Amino acid sequence: MSKKDNGAGVILAYLNEKNRPYSAQDVFSNLQKQHGLGKTAVVKAMELLALEGKIKEKIYGKQKIYFADQAQFKDVNDADLKAIDHQISELSEEVQSLTQSCRQLDAELKELNSSLTTEEMVSEIQELKAECSGYRARLEKIKSASNHITPEEKDKVYKERDLYVKEWKKRKRLASDMTNAILEGYPKSKKEFLEEVGVETDEDCKVVPPNT
């Protein structure tokens, strides 16, 4: 870009290539990064191009819109328009297909990234083998023990447990009934009574009868 045309050549080429309406702000935003154009220079260059008839200018309220001179482009007949529409349709289908493929590849990539590497799998297999070996040794130790109880002995233990739990609940209920009967004529609170007679409740010991 020469300093003499102040970016006019770049702007003219850009508008002819895109062939769509732009404001000066649009052109500045699109070209300033690549070509280093200042906003004031863009505004002046577009006004000069319009004054010279190289581009067209339309005013909508307070905004000016610029676009390429359509006279420089050849007329497009219906057949050409249909061909363009067909090409757009084919390209749209291709874009849709490629987008779907990209999504599938992205999903596969995420799955692969979340999978274990070969080294990690080998390490995990070794850890699992060591863990299994420990379980086998523990199982053999249990099997070889001589202090196993018979099913009959086990059943007897559970029955005795149920008996003791039922007796616990029965005695707790009787003690509660007796205490309530005494408290009907006792001038102090239940807590004070229990402290006076030296009774510790299940709640004091933070225990509850288990389920039978």
Per residue in 155-189, pLDDT tens?
A: 888 889 899 989 988 998 998 899 889 988 889 89
* High-pLDDT (> 70) share of the chain, %: 97
User: Rounded to whole angstroms, how far apart are CA atoms 70 and 120?
Assistant: 65
CB 103 within 8 A of CB 50: no
**Does the pLDDT value for residue 148 go beyond 80?**
no
User: For the whole model, what pTM was predicted?
Assistant: 0.40
Nearest to 181 by CA among 199, 166, 196, 193: 193
Say how many C-beta atoms besides its own lie within 10 A of residue 166's C-beta: 12
Residue 22 β-bridge partners: 66
**Does the pLDDT value for residue 24 go beyond 50?**
yes
> Who wins on pLDDT, 211 or 58?
58
| Class (C level, CATH) for 8-72 | mainly alpha
- Indicate the range of 36-40, 69-73, 114-118 predicted with least confidence: 114-118
Question: What is the band of 36 on the pLDDT scale with cuts at 50, 70, 90?
Answer: confident
118: number of CA atoms within 13 Å, CB side?
A: 0
Element (DSSP H or E) covering residue 66: strand 63-68
Q: What b/e readout covers 109-121, taking b as 16+ CB neighbours within 10 angstroms? A: eeeeeeeeeeeee
